[in-house]
Structure 1
Amino acid sequence: MEIDHLYPYGFRATLFDRLITANEQGKGLSIQQLRESIANDLEDLLNSRVAKINRPLDDLSFVKHSIIQFGIIDFVGLSTANPLDRDKICQSIEQSITAQEPRLRQIKVEMLVDNDNKGALCLSIHAFLNIHPLYEPIVFDALLKPTTQQYVISARS
């Protein structure tokens, strides 16, 4: 049975999506539109960098959850050839997605080593869609294009 049949009114779009699109009143997103919405939001997240603050944030609880923490850390100085650096990059991206994308649960990021992409960074993001009461598995492919230094993300079908 398809998920769209279980949710005949569709899934709720994010506030940002509702503000910028002329969606028909009362009509929700299909499962495919939900996947695309999450892919777009992940693309924005991975193409943003966390502000570097030179003091511990332990005593600044509001700052830890503010917009300055949106994005991923800057990976300058880390090598994708080094397994420890690859793990650090993947864990950092997992933490950022977990903190910023409530529609996903149990996020696992792995770096794909592929000689065909000539300098491009390929990531696979495995997670579960948090669509109560179901948890639908989903996989996103993320590719960092070396020419633009921008991530492009797509949901696998």
Structure 2
Amino acid sequence: MANGFEPSLFDKLFEELPGVAAHRRYSLVQLIDGVARDLEALLNTRIVVEDLLHKDCPLAARSVIGFGLADFAGLNLVSVHDRRQICSAIKAAINAYEPRLKDVRVELEPEHKTVNALLFSIHAMLVVSFAEERVAFDATLQPTCLQYSVSQRSMRTRA
């Protein structure tokens, strides 16, 4: 890792100083933080025409039109079935739109004690150029606004 890692496409596109990100290299920690930020953007983007995409336009479902998650406003977040549906949707979105993550596993943390929030753990293998690293993220869903916040799980609590 002598030269570090190349910034993601989003990092290059949204760089404050155009052209700087193209030459900058990231450490592993910076890369994982960038993946967490990209996951947060993915999980906070809503698909408007999900059913149409999957039934009539399967190729479009994997394009930018299908980027994000369905709106879960109609789900019962206390229901085990609906919680599993959310876990499956998160996993499917990551598999489709985050190519740096392989072997993705998404689970609801049942012992999470925060009121008015659901905590999901995301475990995967980060695969970039010449490196592979097991990574874990915490994704917290605020049911009142259906917004996710994603952060890298600290080394102490990694599974």
Superposition TM-score tier, normalisation by shorter sequence? 0.7 to 0.9
**Which position in structure 2 is the counterpart of 1:71?**
68
State TM-score, norm by structure 1: 0.84
* Gap regions ≥5 residues in structure 2: 155-159
Does residue 1:17 correspond to 2:11, yes or no?
yes
Question: Please, which of 106, 110, 113 is the counterpart of residue 113 of structure 1?
Answer: 110
Letter in 2 for 1:15: L
- The answer on 1:34 being equivalent to 2:31 is yes
* Secondary structure of the corresponding residue to residue 5 of structure 2: coil
Q: Which amino acid aligns with 2:150?
A: I
Mapping of 1:75-154 within 5 angstroms? 75-114=72-111, 116-154=113-151
TM-score (norm 2): 0.83
**Aligned-pair identity (%):** 38
Contact 2:12 2:21 in 1 (8 A): no
Deviation string, structure 1 residues 14-73 (Cα, Å, up to 9, x no partner): 122113223366331110110111001000011111122553645535422222201011
Name stretches of at least 5 consecutive residues in structure 1 with no aligned partner.
1-6
Extract structure 1 runs of 4+ deviating beyond 6 A. none
Alignment size in residue pairs: 151
Deviates more, 1:40-49 or 1:141-150: 141-150
